[in-house]
Structure 1
Amino acid sequence: MKNNKGFGNCLSELLKIFNLKGSRLARGINVDSSLIYKWLRNERVPSYNSTYIDLITNFFINNISNSFQKEIVVEALRKWSLEELATEDISIEEAIRTYLKEAQGYSIELLSKENNKKRQAKSLSKDMLSSGIDFVNIITGEDGVLQSALDILENIPKYPEGKDDTILITLNSNMDILDNFKEFNIKWKKVLHKILKNGWKIVYLVKLNNNIKRTIKIIEYMQLSLYTGRYDIYYYKDSSLGFMGNELIVVPNVGALYCFSSKLKNQVDSAFLFKSKESIEILSGHFFQLFSSAKPLLKSYNWQKTTQLHHTFIEAEETLGDKYVFKGDINTITLPLDLYKKYLKLTKKTNEEIKEHLFLHKRRLDAFEAQIKYYKFKDIFFKESIENLVKEKIYSFDPYFILDDITLDYNDIKCHLENIINMLEKYENYEIALVNKKDFENISKICWMVKENNGVFIQKLNDNIISPYSSYNCNENVDLLISEAEVVDAFIRYFLSMWSSLPSANKDKKKVIKWIKSQIELLKV
């Protein structure tokens, strides 16, 4: 007997005649239901050396409860051209087992052929990237497209040569709906981090819409990349601009990958990989055509000239709405005005500068007082910032806030920490989460504040990292502003998702207050 039906089809037919669901089968053979549904969709097949066929067979046999049901099973086996199995000489149990094994063999052989095709396509893609042969490679299947996107970035020269240092990437489709996108996304972040660190520059062109999940994915890429200073992102909203759901990756002197959908589902499943210089230049031109209608998502400021930004920042704080902050150091909103005045007088600032700083800080404190009864203020910062303040007697505030080193005494630090406790106890809507820096290492190089209905303010922290690539230096502070409503909303969702995932011990008010009090006690030692 030869069965040319896929394993999923056979399993589905058996479930149907037994009037059972896949979830019931999963419980019966003690596996996760997701595995059953992958079998039913012919995405997976039990291997030859597994015990799944016997387990499934026994499950079905145990669900035959009477002679009527037995006749239905026998009749079904006959309809499936298995007359020789549904006889008195062969039991129903053996018939079902043989039926499943035949389907298993057919599906394994079929999947083996498909995987060979994918491996050949992947190998061809890699050979093409390394050889420089001038031809177009056709890539099919979602797996093949994702792998080719990784290949083109993983096979670029370690460091860029000359002025050709800019990689162009679009982000238009909803790739996160693909089953294997999670694994791809981890690898994609790693390769982006590597090439940025080695001196390459990336320009992203994204289509913004109401897909919050995709916008949050953009935020995750930003978190990992902004600190390098070699990452730009532009956006557009008009779907008629030309790309729609298509994707494009262009690497100078290496290749260009043009990805598109071949089906109505509008999800990329095919691609053309180009290697010739002419093709790369043409697709680069196609990419830049959209820039006449695209806008930069990030407005940047040099921190040494940020008077305008700080006024904009304070105006945002004065706007009504919830406020969420992710920052490495203690939030300066917790610093009492009198203590800040004392600190400023210890610096080399002029009287006019001191007045300006105090005026702006008072506006922030007044805005906080006016809104905290009606709006939420959640703050995430590193425990190490308080520990360093207690042990080393130093702050890590941004250079604009306190430009010169000052010597702190016990009473200064105690006053500040006690004010934080007082704010937590006094205001129900004010919450702090204290986290360990090591748990947020990948995104610890930038801090940001998002104000509802207004904008996102981002600062790249100074990490004193210099790349082997001579013109690449991370030792610059950059302030950025995002005002696009969809991204502001996505940042809020992103922050709240981070907050909800934190253990209770990190954000419970009583526990946070208790920990800060323990740090105050250490000051006496």
Structure 2
Amino acid sequence: MNNIRSFSDCLAELLKIYNLNGSKLAKGINVDSSLIYKWLRNERVPKYGTPYIDLITNYLVNNINNSFQKKNIMHALNKWSLQKTDPLDINISKIINSALLEAQGYSIEILLKKGTEKKSNKIHLNNIDNDTPKLPIKENLFYGTDNIDIIKGNKEVLYAALNILESLYKSQKPTRDPIIITYNTTMELLPYFKEFNIRWKQALYNLLISGWKIVYLVNLNNKKKNIKLIEDMQFALSTKRYSIYYIKKPDLLIDNEIIIIPKICALYCFSSQFKSEIDSAFLFKSDISIEILTNHFSQIFSSAKPLLKPYLAQNSMQFQCMITKTEESLGDRYVFTDDISEITFPIDLYKKYLGLSKKSEKEILKLLSLHKRRINAFKSQIKYYKFKEIWFKESIENLIAEEKYSFNNYCSFDNNFQHKKDIIYHLENVIHMLRTYENYQIAIINKSDYENISKICWVVKEHSKVFIEEMNNNTKDTYISNDYSNKIKLLISEKQVVSAFQDYFLLLWNNINNLNKEKTEVIKWLQSKINKLNKFN
């Protein structure tokens, strides 16, 4: 690089190309905006060994929106006398990173030369950013103390993490700050993992229902791991204090794990051997150690995205519209629900139930229109794609006995008591759909056999989206609301997780007894319920 620019000039030109300001960049890499503007005013330069250059590079690369921006970036970099490169065959990340590193080095050298010109002949590095916490300084070295526990062995590390969570539930009250947990590695093949996993999920659930918040940072680089993540979601999401963030680029995360309990401890887990399972850990207990690891975690967060998009009660119509639009996309459709699927309602019966609800005429017309679109999407795709649904046996039996559906807020209308003839009409339509459409299948299972995954219901449309909603529950826990209007509604659009949900459903489906999913058996069982209703009609 012959015409080397200062770090401030290099950064300013890149921000100009991206049409960004310092505040936007600060938010993107999770630093204070004052630091960015000190860089731009040439008052500070990032120190060697700090993560700022990589953070800026990743943020900029992830925000290239079109070919014009890429062309302008290449023009600027070539103007700075970088080696000319074919724009069609270029690693833009490497080029931006290289330019920033060169500019960083150039600016630091200028500051060092200026420092040697001082009469004291001492080098002053005050203008070079140092991200190290403010500890007592002696001869430019930083000192601190911590009573660190060293843990060695796969099983020992896993159970050390488990013991931390279990003891926390028993001895500590929740704090405002969340528990931080990463999930980058896979441990499922270890012989004792199954037993550990049962206790681990219970420990997490105990903490969540007692008021703790938990933030997961996951690396979506392994299909089996993604399925395990779904299993963990089943019990955790209903608490509304469980957040998941993900990183798509595996190079941003190494195969280490962090568990941070605010102001109590931090467990840093790693492998002592190349390409091996985690087998070592350091348990830190001092405030400064916890702060350092929390800051490290926060840096990674600058490249993470929330996995779950929530919909509030007031946006339920928006949620229904999104479901309908997704239903119209082509692909297999899989449903795990605690009651009869809404798609099985005949249009005239659906219209009648809407009319009995407390909804406005405008809402009724909109919901009826959406339902018709879903039915039409089903009929146009069922010949070419598979539609499989898993229902709970208890919900149908409750409908027969109580004449009332077990709907959660997935349903669009109010759940009033229904006439027997309407229930019969509905069940007869379900049987008609099973007989008419070869690709439509229903499995009816006992809820008690799936207690560990029966906290949420979900719809997954192949290659598109997953919609998640909380099932009805009778819990009396202080921290879990049974308020109908507060039930969770979530959307997942990350393709790797959508695919994992599909695989997870098929795994459940394949493990269901044939008597519970064979069409002839399901029709026979539904017909027996209709016969029972007819006796009392």
Q: TM-score, normalised by structure 2?
A: 0.70
Q: What's the counterpart of residue 238 of structure 2? A: 227
Q: Distance in 2 between matches of 1:281 and 1:182?
A: 33
Q: Secondary structure at the match of 1:195?
A: helix
Q: What's the counterpart of residue 251 of structure 2? A: 240
Q: What's the counterpart of residue 394 of structure 1? A: 404
1:187 and 2:199 matched: yes
Which one-letter code corresponds to 2:179 in the other structure? Answer: I
Q: 1:403 to 1:337 in 2, by over 3 A?
A: closer
Which one-letter code corresponds to 1:231 in the other structure? Answer: Y
Which one-letter code corresponds to 1:509 in the other structure? Answer: K
Q: What's the counterpart of residue 349 of structure 1? A: 359
Q: 1:459 to 1:423 in 2, by over 3 A?
A: same
- CA positional deviation for 1:200: 1.0
Q: Distance in 1 between matches of 2:174 and 2:185?
A: 32
Q: Distance in 2 between matches of 1:160 and 1:337?
A: 53
Which one-letter code corresponds to 2:208 in the other structure? Answer: L
1:364 and 2:367 matched: no
Q: Distance in 2 between matches of 1:402 and 1:176?
A: 40
- CA positional deviation for 1:286: 1.1
Which one-letter code corresponds to 1:458 in the other structure? Answer: I
- CA positional deviation for 1:396: 2.4
1:262 to 253, 257, 272: 272
1:433 and 2:433 matched: no
Q: Distance in 1 between matches of 2:166 and 2:409?
A: 37
Pick the structure with greater CA Rg: 1
Q: Distance in 2 between matches of 1:225 and 1:206?
A: 15
Q: Distance in 1 between matches of 2:262 and 2:435?
A: 57
Q: What's the counterpart of residue 94 of structure 1? A: none
Q: 1:170 to 1:440 in 2, by over 3 A?
A: same
| Preserved CA contact (<8 Å) 2:284 2:290 | yes
1:202 to 206, 209, 214: 214
1:311-364, Cα deviation, whole Å (9 max, x unpaired):
111111000000000000100100000011111122233322221111010000
Q: 1:256 to 1:454 in 2, by over 3 A?
A: same
- CA positional deviation for 1:281: 1.6
Aligned length: 389
- CA positional deviation for 1:160: 5.5
- CA positional deviation for 1:175: 1.4
- CA positional deviation for 1:267: 1.8
Q: Distance in 1 between matches of 2:488 and 2:379?
A: 29
Q: What's the counterpart of residue 54 of structure 1? A: none
Q: Distance in 1 between matches of 2:215 and 2:417?
A: 43
2:289 to 279, 295, 303: 279
Q: Distance in 2 between matches of 1:293 and 1:370?
A: 40
Q: What's the counterpart of residue 383 of structure 2? A: 373
Q: Distance in 2 between matches of 1:441 and 1:141?
A: 33
Q: Distance in 2 between matches of 1:438 and 1:417?
A: 23
1:142 and 2:154 matched: yes
1:152 and 2:164 matched: yes
Q: Distance in 1 between matches of 2:527 and 2:453?
A: 28
- CA positional deviation for 1:234: 0.3
- CA positional deviation for 1:443: 1.8
- CA positional deviation for 1:434: 0.2
Q: What's the counterpart of residue 521 of structure 1? A: 531
1:173 to 181, 185, 191: 185
1:241-271, Cα deviation, whole Å (9 max, x unpaired):
2x41000000123211000111012321111
| Preserved CA contact (<8 Å) 2:179 2:215 | yes
Q: 1:246 to 1:400 in 2, by over 3 A?
A: closer
| Preserved CA contact (<8 Å) 2:272 2:280 | yes
1:184-205, Cα deviation, whole Å (9 max, x unpaired):
1122112112111211111000
Which one-letter code corresponds to 1:150 in the other structure? Answer: L
Question: What stretches of structure 2 of length at least 5 have no aligned partner?
Answer: 1-144
Q: Distance in 1 between matches of 2:341 and 2:310?
A: 22
Question: What stretches of structure 1 of length at least 5 have no aligned partner?
Answer: 1-132
1:467-522, Cα deviation, whole Å (9 max, x unpaired):
34xx6645430100111111111111100000000001110100000000000011
Which one-letter code corresponds to 1:155 in the other structure? Answer: S
- CA positional deviation for 1:374: 0.3
| Preserved CA contact (<8 Å) 1:317 1:367 | yes
Which one-letter code corresponds to 1:221 in the other structure? Answer: D
Q: What's the counterpart of residue 497 of structure 2? A: 487
Q: Secondary structure at the match of 1:431?
A: strand
Q: Distance in 1 between matches of 2:373 and 2:218?
A: 36
Q: 1:458 to 1:157 in 2, by over 3 A?
A: closer
Moved over 6 A (4+): none
Q: What's the counterpart of residue 431 of structure 2? A: 421
Q: Distance in 2 between matches of 1:466 and 1:282?
A: 39
2:228 to 181, 202, 217: 217
- CA positional deviation for 1:406: 2.7
Q: Distance in 2 between matches of 1:358 and 1:236?
A: 39
Q: 1:390 to 1:472 in 2, by over 3 A?
A: closer
Q: Distance in 1 between matches of 2:306 and 2:412?
A: 30
Which one-letter code corresponds to 1:361 in the other structure? Answer: H
Q: Distance in 2 between matches of 1:474 and 1:247?
A: 35
Q: 1:328 to 1:314 in 2, by over 3 A?
A: same
- CA positional deviation for 1:464: 5.1
Q: Distance in 2 between matches of 1:353 and 1:147?
A: 53
Q: Secondary structure at the match of 2:508?
A: helix
Q: What's the counterpart of residue 454 of structure 2? A: 444
Q: Secondary structure at the match of 2:311?
A: strand
1:202-237, Cα deviation, whole Å (9 max, x unpaired):
10000111x211110111111121111110000002
